[in-house]
Structure 1
Amino acid sequence: MEAAELRVGFVGAGRMAGGLARGLLRAGKVPASSILASAPSDKNLDAWRESGCRTTHCNLEVLQESTVVILATKPHVLPGVLQEIRPAVGPHHLIVSLVAGVTLQTLQRLLPSGTKVLRLMPNLPCVVQAGAMVFARGSGAGDEEATLLKNLLSSCGLCEEVPESYINIHTGLSGSGVAYVYLFAEALAEGAVKMGMPGGLATRIAAQTLLGAAKMMLETGEHPAKLRGDVCTPGGTTIHALHQLEKGALRATVMNAVEAATNRARSMAED
């Protein structure tokens, strides 16, 4: 299936769906005229119309008009939506669920037998094409479908296929992890403000510092401990600062945060 022929539909038009759509549009993967989004009210749809996408209040219309259908509803709404769209789902559809806590087993039970289903967990930086996404395939989806999704979403950032059991961990590491990084960035900038640097400048430098550090990790493939060691000179500024971070148990606290968010994602899946 060529990207030119791809018609992408979104059932649900909230922040995450909008982020993915903007990523696809910014990268030129799919023209705006080939994207159709549905939502019960116009509240979220206005932004889609402004970027040239088509919109509807009818979920079935999305199925009729699209080959790749991205489910982006709230978890409690999804069973009703699947019941509604089920008669329109055919073998030509690729159904991609972004819905937190809803397993492939549940999706496959509520959709026609043999439906090609993938479960995707993105994160918000997909909006600026720097997302981190993982996906798992259902029993009806093969290599072709996995490759199609990967190619489509490569425009939105890192996209890795994983066992479904990793999806909750990804939520704790990356979905929620973006917020941990913002907290750290804010603290970095406030430290500089305390020492006399203006806030705006400090925030820009903090952001660029995080971006640069992340880029070096990805491009060198080095373990972060090795990169950290490269910055530390004996008796220098960095090792004095790192000692303070260790005293504050930064590493243990962050590990606890990832664990807490992962456990919350798991318990939401069981609710």
Structure 2
Amino acid sequence: MDFTETNARGVVLLGCGKMGSAMLAGWLDRGLDPGAVTVIDPAPSEWLRGTGVRLDGPLPASPAITVVAVKPQMMAEALPALRGLTDTLFLTVAAGTPVAAYEAALGDIRLIRAMPNTPAAIGQGITAIVGNGAATEADLAMAEAFLSAVGEVVRLSSEDQMDAVTGLSGSGPAYVFHMIEAMTEAGIAQGLAPDLALRLARATVAGAGQLAMTGEDPAQLRRNVTSPNGTTQAGLEVLMPELPDLMARTVAAAADRSRELRG
């Protein structure tokens, strides 16, 4: 990524917890000048202090991009610090806060709302983005470039889709972690030692995930593992009648809760 303009105009990062730190580390690794970054964080970590970024200093008047990475419950207290900024692209990764809330707090702004998921903390996330009415194609491209530091980026056609994204990829890592828990318990029930069952379950899910990312159709990958009348088929005959409906209800419940929370 070419950071020439960004380095000249500056970057503001509001909040530097796990997600903010992961993004900042990715930007610095890709060549962003730490001296061009101003971080606003009430309790900077030792790692953050050692990066060379400016901490809680005067903000540039018109930074190229201003990234909001605070928790939703801190938003009302944190956003006023950004009101004096002009001609900047606002990029928010805060969960559950709609575009309208930022426009109400900050006025006529160019805004990209993003929904990353927790694997972004290790650079393996997927983030969905959508712009407000003032955001341009160039703004979306800049947001994609900055967010690609923590994983894959996809664009949505409307903000309404954010609830479905929340239910699927936002909450999805927890579903997978619970599957690892359940697989571990099933292995223990079949006579495996707990530590061995956990190791097998973790590696199986991680390896299957890597295979899924090759781009081959998941249904074909499933068929590749399934010999006729073999052990995998016997297991799938138990799982497949129940899992699709269970997963549909799970994602729907999370998406519905997302709608409720945003009012």
Q: Output the TM-score relative to the length of structure 1.
A: 0.83
Report if aligned partners of 2:23, 2:149 keep a CA contact under 8 Å in 1: no
| Secondary structure of residue in 2 paired with 1:77 | helix
Alignment size in residue pairs = 259
Residue type of the alignment partner of 2:16: A
Q: Distance in 2 between matches of 1:200 and 1:85?
A: 49
> Which residue of structure 2 aligns with residue 207 of structure 1?
202
> Which residue of structure 1 aligns with residue 185 of structure 2?
190
Determine which of 60, 80, 105 is the counterpart of 2:100. 105
Say if 1:85 and 1:178 are closer, same or farther in 2 by CA, change over 3 A: same
Once the two structures are superposed, residues 126-159 of structure 1 have per-residue CA deviations (whole angstroms, 9 ceiling, x without a partner) of 1111101001011221111111111222231110
Does residue 235 (structure 1) correspond to residue 232 (structure 2)? The answer is no
Determine which of 62, 78, 83 is the counterpart of 1:81. 78
Deviation at 1:67, TM superposition (A): 2.7
Say if 1:104 and 1:126 are closer, same or farther in 2 by CA, change over 3 A: same
Does residue 119 (structure 1) correspond to residue 113 (structure 2)? The answer is yes
Deviation at 1:234, TM superposition (A): 1.2
The answer for unaligned runs of 5 or more in structure 2 is: none
Residue type of the alignment partner of 1:46: S
Q: Output the TM-score relative to the length of structure 2.
A: 0.86
Name whichever of 171-180 and 27-36 sits farther off: 27-36
Root-mean-square deviation (CA), in Å? 2.6
Determine which of 88, 92, 96 is the counterpart of 2:91. 96
Percent pairwise identity: 26
Once the two structures are superposed, residues 105-128 of structure 1 have per-residue CA deviations (whole angstroms, 9 ceiling, x without a partner) of 232232232x22110111111111
The answer for unaligned runs of 5 or more in structure 1 is: none
> Which residue of structure 1 aligns with residue 20 of structure 2?
17
Report if aligned partners of 1:75, 1:102 keep a CA contact under 8 Å in 2: yes
Once the two structures are superposed, residues 29-64 of structure 1 have per-residue CA deviations (whole angstroms, 9 ceiling, x without a partner) of 535444432223x2xx11442551536356xx3455
Report if aligned partners of 2:62, 2:86 keep a CA contact under 8 Å in 1: no
> Which residue of structure 1 aligns with residue 161 of structure 2?
166
Say if 1:191 and 1:161 are closer, same or farther in 2 by CA, change over 3 A: same
Does residue 2 (structure 1) correspond to residue 5 (structure 2)? The answer is no
Q: Distance in 2 between matches of 1:187 and 1:63?
A: 50
Say if 1:253 and 1:49 are closer, same or farther in 2 by CA, change over 3 A: same
> Which residue of structure 2 aligns with residue 148 of structure 1?
142
Does residue 181 (structure 1) correspond to residue 176 (structure 2)? The answer is yes
